């Protein structure tokens, strides 16, 4: 009996794994040409308004109630293509949908960031001009010390870090350069910022420290010693 239960669990997990898979922007775009595709943007409404893939539906994965309610109207037996900004939320959303019984889920690897990096277009919204790599390099080179903050206002860990960054920069009288992860794609590629938030500390134009995710105040302080 115990072996039978274990087998059933393994079978269920295998089914979930097969139901979801991540693909490149080219493969994702090719898949969208099939009939009957359900395209789901799992970013926030604010992000969606800045530009989205054509014909996408929107359900904020960070709002569990909204996401559950909106996805209940999708057909579990038809393919669902999901994406977010960099792939974290869409991967989690794909897993959730598989657990709810969706049988064919495709996740855009690297999200909108990868899509735009491949020169593919979004529809709707007005994108602010990107920060150029030359502007970034000029700002970094023109300061004795400068902290680069690669993040976004709608990113939960980025928002959590705001008071810590504010305290640190004020305490050290430090310049701070914000890179918008949803817009400044060329700069993100140039500095190889794969996650948000990513913090990079420069001294005399040279990178001396970096860390992604949540950073304690004392870690920032030690980085300048």
* pLDDT band at residue 127 under the 50/70/90 scheme: low
* Residue 33, C-beta contacts closer than 8 angstroms, at least 6 positions apart: none
| Fold category of 2-117 in CATH | Oxidized Rhodanese; domain 1 (3.40.250)
Three-state SS for 108? Answer: strand
CATH entry 3.40.50.300 includes domain 133-223: no
State pLDDT tens for residues 148-178: 999 987 787 888 999 999 999 999 999 999 9
State pLDDT tens for residues 12-64: 444 444 578 999 999 999 999 999 999 999 999 889 988 999 999 999 999 99
State residue 57's pLDDT score.
94
DSSP 140-201: HHT-SEEEEEEE-TT-HHHHHHHHHHHHHHHHTT-EEEEEETTT-HHHHHHHT--SSSEEEE
Nearest CA to 159 among 3, 44, 9?
44
Nearest CA to 217 among 178, 187, 174, 155?
174
Average pLDDT score over residue span 133-156: 92
Structure pTM? 0.69
Indicate the helix (H) or strand (E) that contains 208.
strand 206-212
Q: Which residues are marked as active site?
A: 84
State pLDDT tens for residues 168-223: 999 999 999 999 988 899 999 999 998 889 999 999 999 999 999 999 999 999 99
- Tell me if 64 sits within 8 A of 75, measured CB to CB: no
Q: What residue spans define the domains of the chain? A: 2-117, 133-223
Check pLDDT > 80 for residue 118.
yes
């Amino acid at each position: 009996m115990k072996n039978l239960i274990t087998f059933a669990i393994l079978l269920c997990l295998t089914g979930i794994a097969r139901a979801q898979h991540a693909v490149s922007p080219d493969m994702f775009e090719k898949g969208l040409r099939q009939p009957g595709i359900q395209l789901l943007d799992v970013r926030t409404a604010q992000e969606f308004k800045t530009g989205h893939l054509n014909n996408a539906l929107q359900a904020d994965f960070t709002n569990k109630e909204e996401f559950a309610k909106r996805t209940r109207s999708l057909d579990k037996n038809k393919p669902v293509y999901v994406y977010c900004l960099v792939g974290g939320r869409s991967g989690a959303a794909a897993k959730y949908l598989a657990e709810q019984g969706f049988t064919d889920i495709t996740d855009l690897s690297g999200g909108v960031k990868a899509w735009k990096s491949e020169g593919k277009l979004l529809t709707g919204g007005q994108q602010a001009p990107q920060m150029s790599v030359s502007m970034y390099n000029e700002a970094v080179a023109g300061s004795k010390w400068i902290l680069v903050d690669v993040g976004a206002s709608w990113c939960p860990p980025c928002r959590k870090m705001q008071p810590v960054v504010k305290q640190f920069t004020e305490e050290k009288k430090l310049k701070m350069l914000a890179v918008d992860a949803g817009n400044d794609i060329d700069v993100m590629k140039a500095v190889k910022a794969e996650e948000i938030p990513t913090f990079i500390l420069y001294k005399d134009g040279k990178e001396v420290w970096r860390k992604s995710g949540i950073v304690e105040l004392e870690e920032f302080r030690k980085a300048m010693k």
